[in-house]
Structure 1
Amino acid sequence: MKNLKITALLAVLAFSPFYANVFPVTPASIVKKVAEAAKWKSETIDVGKIPQGKPKLIRFEFTNTSSQPIMIDKVAPSCGCTTADYTKTKILPGKTGFVEASYNAAAEGAFSKSITVTMSDNQNPKVLSFKGTVVK
């Protein structure tokens, strides 16, 4: 019985350093690297006053700050009055990409709209917003 306890203790001690290297100690650093893959020039744009009946094009630009190519997987405008276009090819490290929103300025008055962007490197979507006032 004593030999069994000693063998079990030696087995636990022998495998302890192995398991210590398997689990990451600081998962926050991994999250930080993923979150910084796309550096946006601006996440909110105020377009000011725009004329009624003329669509307004709003452009959001970003730079790939990671060491891997990234791609925009999905772009979803918040309403039917906004359409979106975006870079559809891989964005190499250090290169720039874009998301464009075209807002149909049909109704007079203040507006605030958003576009949700999902990238290949990160499944947490980025919400970009723009606002302004439609005038006659």
Structure 2
Amino acid sequence: MKKFFLFFAVLFATSTLSNAQGVIKFKAESHDFGKIDEGTQATYTFEFTNTGTAPVVIANAQPSCGCTTPDWTKEPVLPGKTGKVTASYNSTGRPGVFNKTITVISNAETPQIALTIKGEVTPKGAEAPAAAPAAAPTVSKTPAAAPAPAAAKKAKKS
């Protein structure tokens, strides 16, 4: 009977421990930079809390393209503690609207979470004041020159 009781106690303890799971809860999963000037390094930090019962470890944060660089909390985030994922967008040579994702891969209950950054890059020089209009061409009101008298005399002699 003792063995039977011990078996169920161990089974209960291991099943309780195996259910321990970290949970990442981000304050926001997207950020809109609005309009930014071309050449700007736009950076935003996504903050999260581990609301689970086990430590969370972020294994990777994968950007959707090379124009976005992620950085993240490398050490385990204990239950109740906070961590961060920072996304930096390089707008150089990329005028127009952008919408990029960073896929966060972890050991949390939801192993992949997509974070989004978006905005619009204003091209260089787009904000420059308008140039003054070109000067109007000048019109000469001088009548065309009359034929030379020598040319007229030659015509009569022939």
Under a length normalisation based on structure 1, what TM-score does the superposition of the two structures give? 0.71
> Matches of residues 1-136 of structure 1 in structure 2 within 5 Å?
37-106=23-92, 107-122=94-109, 124-136=111-123
Contact 2:44–2:86, Cα closer than 8 Å, also in 1: yes
Report the identity percentage.
Answer: 45
Q: Distance in 1 between matches of 2:34 and 2:79?
A: 33
Q: Distance in 1 between matches of 2:111 and 2:76?
A: 18
Name the amino acid aligned to 1:91: V
Q: Distance in 2 between matches of 1:105 and 1:73?
A: 27
Higher relative contact order (CA 8 A, sep 6+): 1
Alpha-carbon deviation of 1:124? 3.3
Q: Which has the higher helix share?
A: 1
3-state SS in 2 of match to 1:68: coil
3-state SS in 1 of match to 2:91: coil
Choose 1 or 2 for highest CA Rg.
Answer: 2
Q: How many residues align?
A: 107
Q: Distance in 1 between matches of 2:61 and 2:96?
A: 26
Q: Distance in 2 between matches of 1:80 and 1:88?
A: 21
3-state SS in 2 of match to 1:80: coil
Cα offsets for 1:14-53 (capped at 9, x unmatched)? xxxxxxx9xxxxxxxx7xx85x711110011111111110
Alpha-carbon deviation of 1:121? 2.6
Alpha-carbon deviation of 1:123? 6.3
Q: Distance in 2 between matches of 1:92 and 1:125?
A: 18
Alpha-carbon deviation of 1:54? 1.4
Q: Distance in 2 between matches of 1:38 and 1:124?
A: 9
Cα offsets for 1:62-111 (capped at 9, x unmatched)? 00001111110111000011111000011011111011111001211110
